[in-house]
Chain A
Amino acid sequence: MTDLPAGPVPELRQAVWSSLGTVLDPELDEPITDLDFVESCTVSPAGEVSVTLRLPTFFCAPNFSFLMVADAYDAVSAVPGVRRAAVTLADHHASEEINGGVAAHSGFVGSFAGEAVAELDELRHTFLSKAALAGQDRLARPFVEEGLGPDDLAALTLAEVPDSMELRRLRDRRMAIGLPYTDDAPLLIHGDGSRVTSAQVPLHLRRARLQRVGIETNGEYCKSLLQTRYSAEAKARA
């Protein structure tokens, strides 16, 4: 795990690192700092920040990779006291397009001329929806284990769910994609925001768990591959 960024200004270093912690891998729904995707981060006394990201494989999908580099650039640039930010992706098949594109603010379409027809808002939306579904499993599971039946589960609102980091994450994701997130919102909802009926609860919970297993399995895969890729043994070979 990369330590706090090097540099002479402790507060600024801390603020830059915290900002990187807000950048998520959209597929895995985890911060890039927890995933060990930040290879290096330096902060100069003048407020110049340089960040290098790394990913589990050379062929990680270019659209998600682009989002992480662009989001990291935006997050770091917005930190008060940062005068200039540079974020680059290392060891990736599309490093050149992504790094050049983010630095030049060309957007995804501009960075991949001829190969992309739209920016990545729809893609981001799709993965926030997936994360919001997986979150329903995480929060509903304890109630299911307590023995709550379909009627009670269908009636459960966010106000009745004990406060936790997971609940706050669920609210954030729902808010970002326009789904009900306030206290009176049901815990179990469909992708379009409508309430899950008691008859639909069993299948809905199966889907929510399947979604969670999907995302978490990818996360495990990516962590294993990153570890292997940047092991001492791999470095010796390169």
Chain B
Amino acid sequence: MYEKDGEKYFVVDSHSHFWDASKENWVEGKEQFAKGWIDCFYGYHQLGPPETHWDWEHYLKVTPEDFERDMFVEGHVDYAIFQSTYLKEWYKNGFNTVDQNAALLEKWGDRLIVNGRFDPREGDAGLKQLEADVQKYKHKGVKLYTAEWNGDSRGYKLTDPAAYDFLQAAQELGIKNVHVHKGPTIWPLDKDAFDVADVDHAATDFQGLNFIVEHVGLPRIEDFCFMAVQEPNVYAGLSVVVGGLMHARPKFFAKVMGELLFWVGEDKMLFGGDYNIWVPKWQVEGLVDWQMPDDDQFSDYPRLTTASKKKILGLNAAKLYDIPVPAELQLETTAGDTEAPGEELVEGKAGAQA
């Protein structure tokens, strides 16, 4: 819990990791990809305030003690949700697997949620694994990385028939939340890998699932927003928006927040700190202090109130994941409610402009 100026914020970090990018874990012959991946993350890391920068060696792998300090002791986080990313083509034991993440459950089982994952290219074996994972860890959510490499394949779309089989299975197994993370590759490579049209289709066809688009679809915020306004079960994951823009590009952070507040709305935005790309402390504190600039170019964007901040920082995610929130910190949010999809949502937005 974070307290500032007499207001109390229940913080759910909806996007964190406990990864192993240490050199010992790099696959022989694929070192350039393993290093390239973590170097790319390290580039993002450096977009945070200079005093929060770590050296590269430390960044490769943190200890459970580091995690506890950065998240729970200093980071103001009440609950964290782990998003698994396997990348076994490049990392021997995987980059950030369910089992790695779940090792921390023993100590912090009352404050951690471990999400599962699946890869539609793994066929029947993958379906069995998903079932076993759900049985073992009681997953309420899965994270899908569509740009994951698998043998010769450079990725997939949610509309691939095999992906639909997995989404169907996930829904039947009681999964509620699907976190979609787009990356730079996909099959076929000539298409835009960041396109979120497949999420649009899947969200329409699987009304029982919530689709949280990580990084708010960056670098395709426009496609994401216009899709989200029409699909009531689509949510904005703010990881990378807060971490990558709030400090490094404050003006653009304000614009992106303004667009999200207008198109998606404060009940459908979920804070994610993306540990350990960044630590949550400065992100939580910065977001609580943040205000839309007074400048004219921001004048018709919705404002962020204390109530909106409370919802974005934790209450929306708490509702999607049935996380118990102390009564005095609770607020009403429509997150998780079922609404009818349709164009009228878009028309409603048009009226709001006048």
Decide yes or no: A112 and B189 within 8 Å by CB, A61-B194, A203-B349 being known contacts.
yes
Decide yes or no: A123 and B354 within 8 Å by CB, A59-B184, A115-B152 being known contacts.
no
Q: In the complex, which range does the number of interface residues on chain A fall in? A: 35 or more
Residues of B contacting A224 with CB < 8 Å?
A: 47, 244, 248-249
- Smallest CB separation, A14 vs chain B (Å): 33
Asked if A151 is an interface residue, CB under 8 A from chain B, the answer is no
Contact A217 B226 (CB under 8 A): no
Contact B190 A122 (CB under 8 A): yes
Which of A63, A205, A210 is in CB contact (< 8 Å) with B225?
A210
Asked if A175 is an interface residue, CB under 8 A from chain B, the answer is no
Decide yes or no: A63 and B189 within 8 Å by CB, A206-B349, A221-B244 being known contacts.
yes
Query: Bound complex: CA of A221 vs CA of B36, how far in Å?
Result: 18
Contact A220 B346 (CB under 8 A): no
Query: Bound complex: CA of A220 vs CA of B251, how far in Å?
Result: 10
Q: Which residue on chain B has the smallest CB distance to residue A150?
A: B354
Decide yes or no: A58 and B36 within 8 Å by CB, A203-B346, A210-B225, A210-B263 being known contacts.
yes
Provide the A3-34 mask, 1 if CB < 8 A to any CB of B, else 0: 00000000000000000000000010000000
Residues of A contacting B188 with CB < 8 Å?
A: 115-118
Residues of A contacting B54 with CB < 8 Å?
A: none
Inter-chain contact total with CB atoms closer than 8 Å: 127
Residues of A contacting B47 with CB < 8 Å?
A: 224-225, 228
Residues of A contacting B184 with CB < 8 Å?
A: 59-62
Tell me what chain B mostly uses at the interface: helix, strand, loop, or mixed. helix
Contact B190 A225 (CB under 8 A): no
Residues of A contacting B131 with CB < 8 Å?
A: none
Asked if B40 is an interface residue, CB under 8 A from chain A, the answer is yes
Which of A27, A116, A200 is in CB contact (< 8 Å) with B219?
A27
Contact A116 B252 (CB under 8 A): no
- Smallest CB separation, B53 vs chain A (Å): 10
Asked if A235 is an interface residue, CB under 8 A from chain B, the answer is no
Provide the B22-57 mask, 1 if CB < 8 A to any CB of A, else 0: 000000000011001101100110110000000010
Residues of A contacting B154 with CB < 8 Å?
A: 115
Asked if B125 is an interface residue, CB under 8 A from chain A, the answer is no
Query: Bound complex: CA of A202 vs CA of B219, how far in Å?
Result: 24
Contact A217 B218 (CB under 8 A): yes
Query: Bound complex: CA of A210 vs CA of B165, how far in Å?
Result: 34
Decide yes or no: A130 and B222 within 8 Å by CB, A58-B40, A59-B40 being known contacts.
yes
Q: Which residue on chain B has the smallest CB distance to residue A127?
A: B192
Residues of B contacting A115 with CB < 8 Å?
A: 152-154, 187-189
Provide the A203-229 mask, 1 if CB < 8 A to any CB of B, else 0: 101110111011011101100110011
Contact A108 B190 (CB under 8 A): yes
Q: Which residue on chain B has the smallest CB distance to residue A56?
A: B43
Query: Bound complex: CA of A224 vs CA of B43, how far in Å?
Result: 9
Contacts of B200-245 to chain A: CB distance below 8 A: 218-223, 225-226, 244-245
Decide yes or no: A210 and B226 within 8 Å by CB, A63-B190, A119-B190 being known contacts.
yes
Chain B count of residues within 8 A CB distance of the other chain:
51
Of B75-83, B254-262, B332-340, the one with at least 4 CB within 8 A of chain A: B254-262
Asked if A120 is an interface residue, CB under 8 A from chain B, the answer is yes
Residues of A contacting B58 with CB < 8 Å?
A: none
Which of A126, A203, A211 is in CB contact (< 8 Å) with B353?
A203
Which of A27, A120, A210 is in CB contact (< 8 Å) with B259?
A210
Contact B43 A229 (CB under 8 A): yes
Count chain B CB atoms within 10 A of each CB in A108, A119, A210 and give the residue with the most: A210
Contacts of B298-322 to chain A: CB distance below 8 A: none
Q: Which residue on chain A has the smallest CB distance to residue B53?
A: A233
Residues of A contacting B185 with CB < 8 Å?
A: 59, 61-62
Residues of A contacting B191 with CB < 8 Å?
A: 63, 123
Query: Bound complex: CA of A122 vs CA of B154, how far in Å?
Result: 20
Asked if A109 is an interface residue, CB under 8 A from chain B, the answer is yes
Residues of B contacting A205 with CB < 8 Å?
A: 353
Q: Which residue on chain B has the smallest CB distance to residue A92?
A: B36
Asked if B350 is an interface residue, CB under 8 A from chain A, the answer is yes
Residues of A near any B CB (own CB < 8 A): 27, 56-63, 93, 108-109, 112, 114-120, 122-123, 126, 130, 145, 200, 202-203, 205-207, 209-211, 213-214, 216-218, 220-221, 224-225, 228-229, 237
Closest 9 CB pairs of A and B: A58-B36, A202-B353, A203-B350, A214-B222, A61-B184, A218-B219, A116-B189, A214-B221, A117-B188
17 further contact pairs, Cβ within 8 A, besides A62-B184, A93-B32, A206-B349: A57-B43, A58-B37, A59-B36, A59-B40, A59-B184, A63-B192, A108-B189, A108-B190, A114-B152, A203-B350, A205-B353, A209-B259, A214-B222, A217-B221, A217-B245, A218-B218, A224-B47
